[in-house]
């Protein structure tokens, strides 16, 4: 045994080194992890080691034949997890969570988007698996497959504990209270490693599943006190200005504000939106606040004024919660009929379940539309056909109604038929950005046609039309191409600013006579109180984290799901604080009070969702009677 170790390399250590080096290479080539010091680079380098040693080390308890098979299978599985994160990161600049894996039912609808992110060169990521197969089959003389003595195995596993504690201790000196920053996955991966992050994610998943069973509503008291203390009264000039009118909310798929009033090849990207915003209330500093749920998260923000969960999509993870305070539920009390129009499968994003919980009475899904090859592209029914086919249904609905429209065509990977192109593609090294402009222009044209159809159907004059972008369309992966288009370097500060999406409130007979552009710092979480106040509904007792966009008292504070934020003077992103006037990084002390406020709001919102705490709230007070507890736990 001793002689073998002197002259041969243990097969298990070959597997460890191959996985370790490969993981580090993927870190550097597939993930955009910010490294600011040699110490951070060292942490990044060593953080995969403890997990790899552990998972590979289990082979020491197998026979030689079993150990070979185990190491090959394990290396493949670990590599697949790494690869899945790399592919996901290419578009979302984020890491996979366990709740996200529960959304596998969406995969059949994501086909084109996923294949667009996969490249032939990715096969190299599995090269080490092929090497292990070759070594195990031909057993070269320099490789040892000998079993290890119990004492050696013990030292091996003790070394794993030592390496992990060393890694964690080093990470804690770099980022104190690291394990409390569950909303910032980049920080966790940078310090703990991809694999240990997934283990920690599994622990969090089991913990959050237990929160509902343990909740009794008492936690809601502290949250309600915080919300009440931060309540912002509506502006009397706008309160009730749309009372009794139909509310039409249009979600502009993947539309970011950088295309507004901008051109591509000398042609305007959004000519109609450019025109209609000048006849409306337009918010030029409005941000999306979505997490991994993207479009579904933007819906959740709209209807609840709560933050989406940090891991997965709340539509999936908590679709059966009690949302009796959601806008569709409470707006019924004012005589409104809440409906949704979306030409997609009703089960996609679990909508058929959560729409009932939110209070929507009718969901016009794909079965309500005539969808064929001629009128479909990319993700399904083209937006022009979608709006045109929706009008007859709208005419049949009792007024006033609350109608949400979810568009599809301007969705990654941004494919479009030639006859629907109003502008040419851009010319850059990013096919995604190049194709984005024609689909964004098509979306704009579909909105123009929608307005025309509303007028022809006699629905326009008695409606307030609210349009907003649901999430980004161009991720950080395409920053080089964006730099080319915008004519400036895209640094973290600018990346955060690019999360602005259009927000337009159009009220016929009101905004066209007195349009206004607002510099207010706002986000999707502010939509619920804004809409309710426009139609004359009070929100003083609502459990919500948003503020009326028109309020003269609003704090101009927008929180991102990763813990970053924007105010009227500073911006915090990727653990750096920036002065908005100079766009330069400043001392973090200027951001510290807002960092704590952002963290508190995210944690409070998570408690409400994970504990299903709204079931204990009747709209004015917290109910703690034991009967309700027994029925719901």
Active site residues: 295
Is the C-alpha dihedral spanning 181, 473, 555, 574 positive or negative?
positive
Task: Output the six-digit token pair for 255.
Answer: 């539309």
Which contacts qualify for 170-176: CB closer than 8 Å, 24 or more apart? Answer: 170/39, 170/42, 170/43, 171/43, 171/47, 174/39, 174/40, 174/43
Which contacts qualify for 508-516: CB closer than 8 Å, 24 or more apart? Answer: 508/460, 508/461, 508/463, 509/461, 510/241, 510/242, 511/279, 511/280, 511/281, 512/279, 512/280, 515/277, 515/278, 515/279, 515/280, 515/281, 515/282, 516/281, 516/282
Q: How far apart are CA 279 and CA 299, in angstroms?
A: 25
Beta bridge partners of residue 584, listed in sequence order: 579
> DSSP 3-state assignment of 393?
helix
The residues near 510 (Cβ < 8 Å, ≥ 6 apart) are 241, 242
Q: Where are the beta strands (DSSP E) in 66-178?
A: 143-144
Q: How far apart are CA 204 and CA 224, in angstroms?
A: 25
Tell which residue, 31, 534, 2, 503, has the closest CA to residue 250. 503
Residue 523: exposure state from Cβ atoms within 10 A (0-12, 13-18, ≥19): buried
């Amino acid at each position: 045994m001793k002689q073998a170790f002197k002259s041969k390399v243990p097969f298990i250590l070959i597997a460890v080194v191959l996985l370790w080096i490969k993981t580090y290479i993927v870190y550097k080539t597939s993930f955009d992890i910010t490294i600011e010091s040699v110490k951070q680079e060292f942490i990044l380098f060593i953080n995969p080691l403890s997990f790899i040693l552990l998972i590979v080390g289990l082979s020491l308890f197998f026979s030689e034949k079993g150990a070979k098979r185990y190491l090959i299978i394990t290396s493949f599985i670990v590599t697949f997890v790494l690869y899945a994160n790399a592919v996901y990161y290419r578009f979302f600049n984020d890491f996979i969570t366990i709740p996200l894996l529960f959304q596998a039912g969406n995969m059949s609808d994501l086909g084109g988007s996923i294949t667009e992110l996969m490249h032939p060169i990715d096969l190299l990521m599995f090269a080490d698996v092929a090497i292990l197969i070759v070594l195990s089959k031909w057993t070269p003389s320099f490789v040892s497959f000998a079993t290890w003595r119990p004492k050696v195995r013990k030292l091996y596993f003790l070394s794993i504990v030592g390496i992990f504690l060393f890694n964690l201790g080093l990470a804690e000196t770099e980022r104190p209270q690291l394990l409390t920053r569950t909303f910032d996955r980049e920080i966790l991966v940078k310090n703990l490693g991809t694999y240990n992050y997934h283990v920690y994610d599994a622990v969090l998943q089991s913990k959050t599943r237990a929160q509902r069973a343990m909740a009794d509503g008492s936690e809601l008291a502290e949250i309600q006190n915080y919300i009440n203390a931060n309540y912002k009264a509506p502006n009397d000039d706008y309160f009730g200005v749309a009372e009794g009118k139909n509310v039409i909310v249009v979600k502009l798929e993947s539309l970011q504000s950088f295309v507004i009033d901008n051109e591509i090849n000398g042609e305007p990207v959004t000519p109609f939106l450019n025109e209609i915003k000048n006849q409306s209330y337009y918010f030029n500093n409005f941000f999306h606040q979505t997490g991994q749920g993207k479009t579904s998260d933007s819906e959740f923000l709209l209807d609840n004024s709560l933050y989406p969960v940090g891991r997965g999509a709340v539509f999936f993870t908590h679709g059966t919660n009690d949302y009796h305070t959601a806008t569709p539920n409470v707006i019924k009390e004012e005589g409104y009929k809440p409906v949704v129009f979306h030409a997609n499968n009703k089960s996609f994003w679990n909508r058929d379940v959560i729409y009932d919980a939110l209070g929507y009475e009718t969901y016009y899904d794909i079965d309500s539309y005539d969808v064929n090859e001629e009128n479909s592209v990319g993700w399904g029914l083209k937006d022009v056909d979608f709006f045109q086919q929706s009008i007859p249904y709208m005419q049949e609905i009792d007024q006033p109604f609350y109608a949400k429209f979810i568009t599809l065509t301007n969705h990654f990977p941004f494919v479009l038929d030639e006859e629907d192109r109003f502008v040419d593609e851009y010319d850059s090294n990013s096919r995604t950005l190049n194709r984005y402009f024609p689909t964004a222009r098509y979306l704009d044209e579909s909105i123009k046609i929608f307005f025309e159809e509303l007028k022809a159907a006699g629905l326009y004059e008695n409606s307030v039309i609210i349009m907003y972008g649901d999430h980004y369309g161009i991720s950080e992966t395409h920053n080089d191409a964006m730099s080319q288009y915008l004519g400036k370097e895209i640094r973290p500060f600018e990346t955060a600013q690019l999360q602005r999406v259009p927000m337009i409130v159009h009220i016929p007979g009101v905004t066209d006579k007195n349009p206004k552009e607002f510099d207010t710092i706002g986000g999707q979480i502010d939509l619920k109180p804004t809409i309710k106040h426009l139609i004359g509904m009070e929100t003083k007792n609502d459990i919500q984290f948003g503020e009326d966009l028109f309020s003269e008292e609003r704090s101009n504070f927008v929180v991102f799901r990763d813990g970053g934020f924007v105010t009227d003077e500073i911006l915090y992103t990727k653990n750096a604080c920036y002065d908005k006037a100079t766009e330069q990084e400043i001392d973090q002390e200027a951001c510290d009070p807002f960092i704590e406020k952002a963290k508190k709001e995210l944690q409070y919102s998570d408690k409400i969702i994970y504990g299903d705490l709204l079931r204990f709230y009747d709209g004015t007070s917290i109910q703690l009677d034991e009967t309700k507890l027994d029925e719901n736990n």
